[in-house]
Structure 1
Amino acid sequence: MMHAAILLVAGRSSRMGSLKGLIEWQGKLLVVHQIEQLLKSKIEQMIVVLGYQSEVYQPIISELGSSVTIVWNENWEQGKSSSILKGITALPKDCRSILFVNIDQPLQFSVVNQLIDSFEQTKSPIHLPIFHGKRGHPLLISCELLPALSTINEEEQGLKKIIRAYQKDIRSVEVDDPHILYNFNTPKDMKGE
């Protein structure tokens, strides 16, 4: 049974004014940082969903190794839910959990490993990191919830629909990393780097 990650890189990044994955973060392109952190973690299958300007990202991602599966969301303009659904189609049959990672929310492999460890130790289907009582990213969901995940859409706020439906089953994992609260939507958001 595998732990998989879906990295969402398909959006236009219109509020940022440039492609978020090409922003420099800790001395590297953000897309490179995200993939390298996932490769260092306990994630066994990585799926990167591309859409807008995929031709820019594809060679960068390809250089990072063959263990990354790239899928293209031709419906990227329909929102993040369409990219999540596209990523789900590439999951391995023996999927145990899925880590949903947005390109604009920088992560550390140690947080990923803490979420996977928590998943392994409990029966909770959803695991979220928290820092000083605040929920952050990324989100780890059991593959047992794939039927529910396959019903998400933008009108019902995508993954938030799943979080609402399984609120009592969420396991919060305390981590010592303020980055879980970061969300880079505009150039101003980058100042928290």
Structure 2
Amino acid sequence: MKNSNRNRPHYPKALLEIRPGVTFLEEIYRKVSVFSDRVIVVLGSDKDEILARVNIPRSEIVYNADFEKGMFSSVKAGLSRLSREKAFMINPVDCPGVRQSTYESLIRQWEKYPEKIHIPSFEERRGHPAIYPAGLVGEILSSPDDLGGGLKFFLEKEKDLILHFDTDDKGVIIDVDTFADYERFAQRF
């Protein structure tokens, strides 16, 4: 977590609690595992601490040794494990407030248009999670790690494939990046 106050210690976002006893990672896993038998969780610097404290029994853990390169390197680490999937969902751990019904609606939209990239939007602002067709895996994996903007750059390049899913779920645009964000998030949820 980026510290808005340098006096505060580093703390893995995955271990922040959405409610007492339930971490961000567990909440997202609970929602996503309903729809897929295969859930890939990419972890970096705090892998051991996170694994010791979360209950995500059927997940496949991928260690991203290049975590210092940012989120795009984690995306690529996870995608490198895909084989025969028709699509994949990218759900950052700092976006745990998405409603279960939003996942359901997003997946229903993907079922109608599987060749598209599906991105939820709240009041015309793009959010998370997003569903991508598996045919894009090779293109993403071959993109340079130092790709300016990572997925945002990739999405700009593939903008003709994007299908926005309008939702009233503000959780799709709430990222918890700082302690101040977490305090606001905790009051809302």
TM-score (norm 1): 0.84
**Matched ranges for 1:6-155 at <5 A:** 13-15=1-3, 17-27=10-20, 28-40=22-34, 42-61=35-54, 63-65=55-57, 67-91=58-82, 93-106=83-96, 107-152=98-143, 153-155=145-147
Which has the larger displacement, 114-123 or 46-55?
A: 114-123
More strand by share: 1
Aligned to 2:7: none
Q: Structure 2: where are the runs of 5+ without partners?
A: 5-9
Kindly provide the CA deviation profile for residues 88-121 of structure 1, in whole angstroms up to 9, marking residues without a partner as x. 1111x22111110111111333222222211110
Query: CA-atom RMSD, angstroms?
Result: 1.8
Question: How far apart, in 2, do the equivalents of 1:172 and 1:124 lie?
Answer: 13
Aligned to 1:8: none
Matched letter for residue 138 of structure 1: P
Q: Structure 1: where are the runs of 5+ without partners?
A: 1-12
Once the 2 structures are TM-superposed, how far is the Cα of residue 59 of structure 1 from its aligned partner? Answer: 2.9
Once the 2 structures are TM-superposed, how far is the Cα of residue 123 of structure 1 from its aligned partner? Answer: 4.6
Kindly provide the CA deviation profile for residues 54-91 of structure 1, in whole angstroms up to 9, marking residues without a partner as x. 11111334x332x2100111111121121111111111
Kindly provide the CA deviation profile for residues 155-179 of structure 1, in whole angstroms up to 9, marking residues without a partner as x. 3211112210111221111223111
Instruction: Determine if contact 1:124/1:170 at 8 Å carries over to the other structure.
Output: no
Q: State the identity as a percent.
A: 23
TM-score (norm 2): 0.85
